[in-house]
Amino acid sequence: MTTEQMPRDPVSSRGLASGGLGTPLRDIRGKLAGYRKEEKPIEGTTRKSVSVMLQLADLEVFKSEEPYAFPTAEIRIPLSSSTNSRWGILADSANKIMSKDGNFPKTEVGKSIRLTVTPGHKLSSKNRETNKWEDITVEAWEVTEIAGQTKGSASANPMDELKALLDGKTKAEFNSTALAHPFVKNSPDAQRSILDNSFVEGLVTTGAFTVDANKVYHKVAK
């Protein structure tokens, strides 16, 4: 059995060993404004429990067990160096979305993230009454989206997605749709290229797109 231990290094989703939610929120998206560690004494011992508090702003609530009207939230995850832990579950889900040089949450601060509570996770826990280790099934937070990317989509090219959005649309229709794209919302440079029309004009100039008499853009087949 493995116990949950503090990692030697700062808060990290990488380098984990093998081995209660406290909020009505169950599915949310927001800007990861920052994070902090919180230590609390463990009753009856000299040890302390350590949690990571993920700080989200500009909150969108998709699911909550109670009404939640606040624009910010702090999500508490018990910190551990073990994969057999709630932090391990969260870290694994983030690692599947980030690039290989990503390290949640440090490298993702400032980005839009989606956190979702998912069921059916098996962890090992010590029964305080019997003092024996038992396998339990718990709900746990997972990272399900980072800056518009989801599991398995990290290799997708956002520019290709924007080109697909432009195909069959007028410039006004494209701008409205493109500015709502998660990649664009998290990229000032992409926003600028759309608003100053350099993105669309560049595609026409290079012959990748044509524009018809109704000012609708069409992708040129290769």
Give 70-91 pLDDT, tens digit per residue. 999 999 999 998 888 999 999 9
Cα Rg of the chain, angstroms: 22
DSSP codes joined into one string, 34-72: EEEEEEEEPTTSS-EEEEEEEEEEEEEEEEESS----S-
Question: What one-letter code names the amino acid at 118?
Answer: T
Element (H, E) at 200: helix 198-205
Mean of the pLDDT values across residues 202-217? 94
Give 136-168 pLDDT, tens digit per residue. 888 999 999 988 888 765 545 678 889 989 999
Give 24-83 pLDDT, tens digit per residue. 999 999 999 999 999 988 887 888 889 999 999 999 999 999 999 999 999 999 999 888
Mean of the pLDDT values across residues 195-214? 94
| Domain spans, the chain | 25-146, 158-219
Q: Does the pLDDT value for residue 1 go beyond 90?
A: no
Q: Does the pLDDT value for residue 10 go beyond 70?
A: no
What is the C-alpha to C-alpha distance for residues 37 and 39, in angstroms, rounded to an integer? 7
What is the C-alpha to C-alpha distance for residues 202 and 191, in angstroms, rounded to an integer? 15
Task: Bin 215: left if φ > 0, else alpha if -120 < ψ < 50, else beta.
Answer: left
Q: Which pTM was predicted?
A: 0.62
Give 175-201 pLDDT, tens digit per residue. 999 998 877 887 788 899 999 999 999
Please report, rounded to a whole number, the percentage of residues in the chain having pLDDT higher than 70: 88
pLDDT of amino acid 4: 45
* Token duo for residue 219: 């992708």
* Token duo for residue 141: 């937070």
* Token duo for residue 169: 């649309």
Residue 124: Cβ within 10 Å count = 16
What is the C-alpha to C-alpha distance for residues 163 and 82, in angstroms, rounded to an integer? 42
